[in-house]
Amino acid sequence: MSTVDGSAAFDALRRAMAENAEEPEGPARNARAEQLLAEAEKLNIPLAVIEALGHQLKVYNYSSEKAKMFVPFVRLLRMWDERPEDFDEYETHSLHWVFKWMTTGMLDQPHIPLAAMEKWLGEMEHRYRLAGHSERAVRSAEYSVAAHVGDVERAERAYAAWLAADRDSMADCHACELHEQGWWQSQRGRDEEALDLWAPVLEGEFTCAHEPHAVLASSLKPLLRLGRLDEARANHLRGFRLVRAMESMRGAYADHVEFCALSGNEARALELLAERPAYFTDDGHPRSLLDFTAVVALLMDRLTGLGLGERPVPGPAGRSWTAAELAVHARGEALALAARFDERNGTSHVGERTRARMAQRPLVERLPLGVRAARTVAAPVPAPAAPVTAREPDLPALVAEARRLSDTLRPNAVEAWAAVARAAEGVRLDPRDRAEIADHEAMDLGPAGLELFERAAELYAEAGDPGEALAARARAAYVRALAGEVDAALAAVAGPYDEVLALYSADDTGVRQTASVLMSRARILMRRVQRVHEGDEEAFLTDAESAVREVLALVEGRTGDDVRLAARVAEAQAMLAELAERAGDLPVAAELFTTAAAGFVAAGLPWFAVEYEARLAGLLHHLGDADGTERALRAALEHGGPHLEAVGRAQLHLQLAEVVGGRGLDEEAAEHALEAAHWADEAGEGPTLGALARHQLGGFLLRLGRWAEAAEVLESALPDLSAERHGEGTVVQTQWWLGDCLAELGEHRAAAERRLQAAEIARHWPEQHDHATLAHLAAESLGAAGLAAEADRAYARAGALWSELGNVHGLVRSLRARAWLALRAQDGADAARELMAEAVRACEAALGDARADEAARQRLVGELGHTHRQFGDLLARSVPEDAEDDSIRAVLEEALAEVVEAVVVFASLGDDGRDARTGAELAAGWLAADLSRPAEAAARARAVLDAYGDTDGADATARARRSEAEQMLGLMEGAEGRDG
């Protein structure tokens, strides 16, 4: 092979290795590295083999096949010892760099004796000393060995020496060092110190290929232990997104599974296991396999403890698994691996840590994450349990407590009477007690309790309370209305109504019993209003209002300390509010709902106010009273307390998220949307209300700049969102937001896919602005992903839509973007020129339209200026490196002319265009300098200095412009002196 041929082949090999390095981690990338080594060996170029071995070693290290990396390293070391001159400077550095990987990597392989590790540690120290390197990396490796075997004293000594040694080119990157230092502090029980060390990595100050991925995972338990739950949630959502696709990060992946198991998110933990089936069996890195199996055992024990041992779960391929079965299997695998490490190490440290990890208990009952997940256990009953005494109370005490609860309308009165019924089995009770038992059982059954209400009525009559008997019959009539039998209900309540009024007039019953019958009748008439057909509405409204006012006339002024009567007044006010709302008098309805809610609260019954405060919030929102809406929603959440059902809590939080988000309080809005998602899942409404809450949550997180969290939440919402259930607008907005997040995260191809999916839906809408915007955004993402042809087509599509909409700004920007894309293509300079010229013509044509108002004209002038400026920049960059001097000069002259035109256009905007004008002035000055016209360049610089002569130092743009102008002026004045 000739030297020329060999050099070309070596270059091709290097390109192939660079391309392979960009492929996803895994066996396919490793196999390709093995092929490339074989190709390198055919070239008869030692450096080619060295580079191919180094490439192979690196891809092994970043994969599940870490055990394979020792062979290429030993071969590289032998080549170094035999012919160090074959290594260039980079490969010499790399060889010493990966020495650390070998020494600490042996810890992960229990078949490698501890003595061998100590030998390699000594070898590393010797070679680093010969090469003139600091001992920092050596002491770090020694700490790792000592920490692994549980030699705390040696680990602390090595840790201190590590930090004391100078950082040099062999020290691990700042991010990796801080990760390990923080991990050690957390292991020693110093969580706050660990998080302080990790802060620069978590905040993005220091990063690398595996950071902040690993730090985010390691931070989860310390944050839970410290009660910093919001940070723990955020780090899980951010961190899992980073490690999901990285095969080599099984240990960090296990930390995320563990976090879910310890925070009440068992269902999400199972989803994580299902995503990585190979993690159960990949054996190239036993240490991370131990971490993973221990966490699987922890999770499965947790599920079994919750009574879900027979639940099917993801597990090793080849058979199906229940949680109980996998718990036994994973525990056995983890302990067997730990025993191998301990046997190698001569200590019990790994086994003790493994057992402790598997024995952990949840750190919080449940931490809502915002992402979709079915509950693994039934949601708890929200109402508080009946009071518990030291011993089982006797029957009279149970009756007294039940009567107290029902007389004061406590939420668990029905349950208390059920307890009485159980305790009274085989005991003869008086008719009054039996009446109340039957009455409350009927209330619990609803429409199915008709016969029990009639039985209760008979027993009340037997007990000598005819008014309460009539009230029970009236309640029976009302449950008929609830079942849809409104006419039958009205017929059934007519008799009790007439009879109770007669009894009351004769002083044979009291206000409470009479009010109960009148309220049941009013409720039935309200049900008729709610089911009203057009034409009957006015009469039905009048009848209902009369019935409600009859209740008020009876009760108002007579409530005293009677909670039941106070509740009748408040409910009647709420009924009048509903009637006013149906009649279209919304201000009156809002006032009455406010009065009703206040009445329930004053009576000590705040949970009854919740329904009406929610109704009030809807009315006030419709009336445009944002402050009132917010107050009503907050009151509803406060007053509902533990008695509020999960679905109601979800709805209130979702409404409040929208209201406070509208005020710009994105942080609080995100909290409410998170709560809404959580409670929707609790209520079994995850695919409906929960998906909408996740949509909202993702939007608020996006506005807060928390891109990774937002992306995880939005991706979780999408499978449940549908045009039929949630509307096309919600689906499009979710895709749009997700595309924005992915673009911010640098995932441009995925961002383009989301934006194109949204654009495809919006394509069918009558108004096409969203379609055009999404097509434009998709084009930006395609361009950033390096898909130039696809980007050009998307920009052309967007441009056509902007043109149809008469949006000159969108059209011009799409043309400019296409011009820059064309310039990057081979022989694309002419096409780029024409596209930029077309953008100029579009601006000029729009400015010629006399219909544009002054503000619109000013915007168009600015757009024209930016187009001329970009045209000049494009021309300057279009000059081929091998062009003749005359050709280069001609193109630069054209570029200067465009930039000067931009200066003129921006100058016409006055002070509004100053920053844009001075930027163009400086660009023109540099082009003049390139054309060997220092006087012209100096004049441009002076013009910039003059433009900012009256500004203070607070304007960052002014400071930057003046600094650049002074630099230009100094260079040009020197050039003028030399020319002179």
- pLDDT score for 386: 44
CB of 313 closer than 8 Å to CB of 272:
no
Is the bond into 212 cis (omega within 30 degrees of 0)? yes
pLDDT in tens, 698-743: 999 999 999 999 999 999 999 999 999 999 999 999 999 999 999 9
CB of 302 closer than 8 Å to CB of 266:
yes
Cβ contacts of 482-490, under 8 Å, gap ≥ 24 = 482/446, 482/447, 482/527, 483/447, 484/531, 486/524, 486/527, 486/528, 486/531, 489/524, 489/527, 490/524, 490/525, 490/528
- pLDDT score for 242: 94
Cα–Cα distance measured from residue 250 to residue 62, given in angstroms and rounded to the nearest whole number = 11
- pLDDT score for 375: 59
pLDDT in tens, 114-163: 999 999 999 999 999 999 999 999 999 999 999 999 999 999 999 999 99
Closest C-alpha to 809, from 834, 841, 842: 842
Give the list of residues 6+ apart from residue 216 with CB closer than 8 angstroms, or none: 202, 235, 236, 238, 239, 242, 252
CB atoms within 10 A of CB 485: 17
Please determine, for residue 2, whether its predicted confidence score (pLDDT) is greater than 60: no
Helix axis angle for 89-105 and 46-61, nearest 10°, is 30
Cα–Cα distance measured from residue 347 to residue 63, given in angstroms and rounded to the nearest whole number = 29
Least confident of 156-165, 301-310, 880-889: 880-889
- Name the phi and psi angles at 244, rounded to 5: -50, -45
Cα–Cα distance measured from residue 907 to residue 557, given in angstroms and rounded to the nearest whole number = 78
Cα–Cα distance measured from residue 915 to residue 905, given in angstroms and rounded to the nearest whole number = 13
User: How does DSSP classify residue 424?
Assistant: T
Q: How confident is the model at residue 538 (pLDDT cuts 50, 70, 90)?
A: confident
With a pLDDT cut of 90, the percent of the chain lying above it is 84
- pLDDT score for 642: 87
pLDDT in tens, 427-441: 888 999 999 999 999
Three-class SS state of 186: helix
- pLDDT score for 446: 87
Burial of 9 (0-12, 13-18, 19+ CB in 10 A): middle
Give the list of residues 6+ apart from residue 494 with CB closer than 8 angstroms, or none: none
Helix, strand, coil in percent for the chain, rounding step 5? 75, 0, 25
Exposure string for 155-170, b = 16+ CB within 10 A, e = fewer: beebbebbeebeeeeb
Please report which residue ranges of 623-665 form alpha helices under DSSP H: 626-640, 646-662
CA trace torsion 917, 923, 928, 930 (10° rounding): 180
Closest C-alpha to 548, from 526, 580, 581: 526
- pLDDT score for 122: 93
Q: How confident is the model at residue 607 (pLDDT cuts 50, 70, 90)?
A: very high
**Residue 419 tokens, joined:** 């307890």
Q: How confident is the model at residue 613 (pLDDT cuts 50, 70, 90)?
A: very high
Exposure string for 592-624, b = 16+ CB within 10 A, e = fewer: bbbbbbbbbbebebbbbbbbbbbbbbbbbbeee
- pLDDT score for 953: 62
Please determine, for residue 654, whether its predicted confidence score (pLDDT) is greater than 80: yes
Which amino acid makes up residue 371? V
CB of 220 closer than 8 Å to CB of 237:
no
- pLDDT score for 125: 94
- pLDDT score for 974: 72
CB of 327 closer than 8 Å to CB of 304:
yes
Give the list of residues 6+ apart from residue 344 with CB closer than 8 angstroms, or none: 110, 111, 112, 113, 114
Q: How confident is the model at residue 536 (pLDDT cuts 50, 70, 90)?
A: low
Q: Average of pLDDT values for 798-826?
A: 95
pLDDT in tens, 961-971: 999 999 999 88
What is the maximal distance between C-alpha atoms in the chain? 125
- pLDDT score for 379: 42
**Residue 695 tokens, joined:** 């949509």
Q: How confident is the model at residue 535 (pLDDT cuts 50, 70, 90)?
A: low
Q: How confident is the model at residue 383 (pLDDT cuts 50, 70, 90)?
A: very low
Cα–Cα distance measured from residue 730 to residue 736, given in angstroms and rounded to the nearest whole number = 10
First vs last Cα of the chain: how many Å apart?
A: 57
- pLDDT score for 975: 66
pLDDT in tens, 226-281: 999 999 999 999 999 999 989 899 999 999 999 999 999 999 999 999 999 999 99
- pLDDT score for 955: 82
CB of 702 closer than 8 Å to CB of 715:
no
With a pLDDT cut of 70, the percent of the chain lying above it is 95
Q: Average of pLDDT values for 44-69?
A: 92
Q: How confident is the model at residue 382 (pLDDT cuts 50, 70, 90)?
A: very low
- pLDDT score for 392: 52
Q: Average of pLDDT values for 472-488?
A: 94
- pLDDT score for 61: 87
CB atoms within 10 A of CB 719: 10
Which amino acid makes up residue 884? E
Measured CA distances, 699 to 719, 722, 733, 737 (Å): 16, 17, 9, 7
- pLDDT score for 384: 44
H-run or E-run covering 48: helix 46-61
**Residue 754 tokens, joined:** 């989301």
Give the list of residues 6+ apart from residue 50 with CB closer than 8 angstroms, or none: 76, 79, 86, 87, 91
CB atoms within 10 A of CB 276: 18
Q: Average of pLDDT values for 806-835?
A: 94
Cα–Cα distance measured from residue 250 to residue 244, given in angstroms and rounded to the nearest whole number = 9
- pLDDT score for 558: 87
**Residue 42 tokens, joined:** 């055919």
Closest C-alpha to 518, from 558, 561, 462: 558
Q: Average of pLDDT values for 762-790?
A: 96
- pLDDT score for 378: 45
Closest C-alpha to 683, from 378, 385, 383: 378
Pair type for strands 312-313 and 321-322: antiparallel
pLDDT in tens, 899-946: 999 999 999 999 899 999 999 999 999 999 999 999 999 999 999 999
Cα–Cα distance measured from residue 873 to residue 293, given in angstroms and rounded to the nearest whole number = 58
Cα–Cα distance measured from residue 579 to residue 559, given in angstroms and rounded to the nearest whole number = 24
Which of the pair, 514 or 851, is modelled with greater confidence?
514
Please report which residue ranges of 203-228 form alpha helices under DSSP H: 213-218, 220-225
Q: How confident is the model at residue 785 (pLDDT cuts 50, 70, 90)?
A: very high
Dihedral sign for Cα atoms in the order 366, 372, 378, 384: positive
| pLDDT, averaged across the chain | 92
Closest C-alpha to 147, from 350, 388, 290: 350
CB of 965 closer than 8 Å to CB of 945:
yes
Which amino acid makes up residue 195? L
Cα–Cα distance measured from residue 52 to residue 33, given in angstroms and rounded to the nearest whole number = 7
